[in-house]
Amino acid sequence: MTYIPFALKYRPQTFEEIIGQQHVSQTLMNAVAQERVARGYIFAGPRGTGKTSTARILAKALNCEQGPTAHPCGECSICRAIQESRCMDVKEIDAASNRGIDDIRDLREKIQYGPGEARYKVYILDEAHMLTDPASNALLKTLEEPPSHSFFILATTEPHKMLPTILSRCQRFDFRAIPVGLMVDALRKIAEAENIQIDDTALAAIAQAADGAMRNAESIFDQVVAYSEGPVDITAVNTVLGVTEAELLAQVAGLIAAGEMPGLFAAVDDLVASGKDLAQFLLDLTVYFRDLLRLSIGAESEQWLQLSEGGQEQMRQQAQQLGSARILQIIHSLAETQQELRTTSQQALLVELILTEAAESQPVAAPASATPAQKAAPAPPAKAEKPAPPPAKEPPPPPAAPPEGPLTLQAVRERWLQLAYELKRSGHMSVWAMINDGKSDEDLNYPTAVNDNRLVIDFQNEFHYNRIKDTYRDIVEEALAKLLGKRLKLECRRGAVEQAEVTSEAQRPPVDDSAPPAPTPPTNDVVQQVIDQTLQLFEGSEEITEG
């Protein structure tokens, strides 16, 4: 026996069965009951929201043997013929493939003849925006003064592409994306009718993935049922959809909130080892942080998807710990990285860097962030049974003062390591690692040229070069302005530059060996160690191969 997919088997057959479009169905029911049906309609809206199904139901309402009626019986010969797409007087035309002026001329000739078996002729033009301009102009007169035995319904996903003269001759109904809750209810009814065991969490995941289209939800449900060998759960749904499990997203968000860089690198390793799509992971993580942002500002939705009550409480704690400002910054960074991920061959490294950057922006620990007054206050006496706590580390020395007089390359190099301070204070320590091309602080990637207007840095690593040039240039220029006392334009170059192009030896003042070295700023040991080891691992390699 031929299998009938859910999207066809459970297609709406009455106005009451249309999901999420009550403003359309109620208006059409009243129009039929009051004999105020327009000769031309435009059904506009996203795909899979019921435009063509509503057009068929309207055709049945006009031609039912018990009508015209707002409640077609679905049992008479005309209703069954329309439901089975074999009624000669109800024509469904694909305007994407029948879009020329000759097609419309043929329609205009045939519409003059009365209906053969039904009461009225109904023409349903799907994707009507695909008609050419000459074809649309040829249709104008017929839409304005159609024969008394004919009706037109133009369905489109892009009404803005239709001629204004076409729009002005029809009544327009805008179909909306179907809410998740209504789709869950509809899928639950299908599951009951088909005797399928599935929990509400899995149904909600399917509805969310459908992106507002009931047809999408039914197709996904069909696929999930075919995959599962018994009751359907959230694991089966996630496997079919390829989405990241909610537990993993919560784990990564927790690691970011706690600043646990090693755990984040281990999570990325697990994603790569299991063959997960890193682009899908970043998309799912962005949506997760979107929900955290809603929680942090008190704008949470009524229904939390794919989460138990324990998961919801965990999200609330993470939202409170991160704060709305930091969550918003992370969302922007994740969104930008999704675009970059499409063009890089080092996806795993890019994901590691963006997660590290998100994690390192967390507030500094209390001893390091204490004010001078707090540091000067005497500590309370320690209990006898506990050893005294170790003294807090001294705060890092302030950056060197901006150089006086004309800016020289030597003056910049003497202050170069101080750039790490400025980037760290603004939450961009990983930018320093990329500027330094993954080298240690003992082997700095110094600038190669400087004048009153620009500063030149050469990069050996193409990934670092592109990230600084395209994404972090403004951040570096701002940090340099604080360090040098003037705004310079950062010029990034790829590969080695000939010495003659950079500066002559005469321009370089000799280094005074007797002068004390520039103070070496302390770094966040965890951040620097993880970043340095990761970037050095790929030094000299343009591409990461996973195997």
**Could you tell me the domains of the chain?**
6-174 (3.40.50.300), 180-241 (1.10.8.60), 246-360 (1.20.272.10), 409-537 (3.30.300.180)
Q: For 44-74, what is each residue's pLDDT tens digit? A: 999 999 999 999 999 999 999 998 999 999 9
Residue 418 is predicted with a pLDDT of 82
Residue-wise burial string across 67-85, b where 16 or more C-beta atoms lie within 10 A, e elsewhere: bbbbbbeeebebbebbbee
Question: What are the angstrom distances between the C-alpha of 283 and each of 254, 290, 410?
Answer: 17, 11, 45
DSSP for 322-341 reads: H-HHHHHHHHHHHHHHHHHH
> Is pLDDT of 488 > 60?
yes
**7 exposure class (CB count in 10 Å sphere: 0-12, 13-18, 19+):** middle
What is the 3-class SS of 433-455, one letter each residue? HHHCCCCCCCCCCCCCEECCCEE
Say which residue the tokens 């399917």 belong to. 206
Residue 158 is predicted with a pLDDT of 93
Name 92's bridge partners: 124
> How long, in residues, is the chain?
547
| pTM for the model | 0.60
User: How many beta carbons lie within 10 A of that of residue 343, not counting itself?
Assistant: 7
Look at residue 361 and give its three-state secondary structure: coil
Phi, psi of 505 (to 5 degrees): -65, -30
Name 449's bridge partners: 456
> Is pLDDT of 81 > 70?
yes
Phi, psi of 464 (to 5 degrees): -60, -40
Residue 366 is predicted with a pLDDT of 36
Q: Sign (positive/negative) of CA torsion 321, 325, 326, 327?
A: positive
- Give yes or no for a contact between 406 and 507, defined as CB atoms under 8 angstroms apart: no
If you average pLDDT over residues 416-429, what whole number do you get?
76
Question: For residues 149 and 39, what is the distance between their CA atoms, to the nearest angstrom?
Answer: 9
pLDDT band at residue 314 under the 50/70/90 scheme: confident
Phi-psi region of 72 (alpha: psi -120 to 50; beta: other; left: phi over 0): beta
- Give yes or no for a contact between 5 and 218, defined as CB atoms under 8 angstroms apart: yes
The alpha helices in 274-323, defined as continuous H runs, are 278-296, 309-322
Vertex 535, ends 530 and 540: CA angle to 5°? 160
Residue 92 is predicted with a pLDDT of 92
Question: For residues 74 and 498, what is the distance between their CA atoms, to the nearest angstrom?
Answer: 83
> Is pLDDT of 504 > 50?
no
- Give yes or no for a contact between 521 and 417, defined as CB atoms under 8 angstroms apart: yes
> Is pLDDT of 376 > 60?
no
If you average pLDDT over residues 223-250, what whole number do you get?
86
**Range with top average pLDDT, 264-273, 342-351, 396-405, 517-526:** 264-273
- Give yes or no for a contact between 158 and 130, defined as CB atoms under 8 angstroms apart: no
Residue 170 is predicted with a pLDDT of 93
Residue 369 is predicted with a pLDDT of 39
Name the least confident of 191-205, 339-353, 390-404. Answer: 390-404
Question: What are the angstrom distances between the C-alpha of 497 and each of 446, 460, 493, 503?
Answer: 13, 11, 8, 10
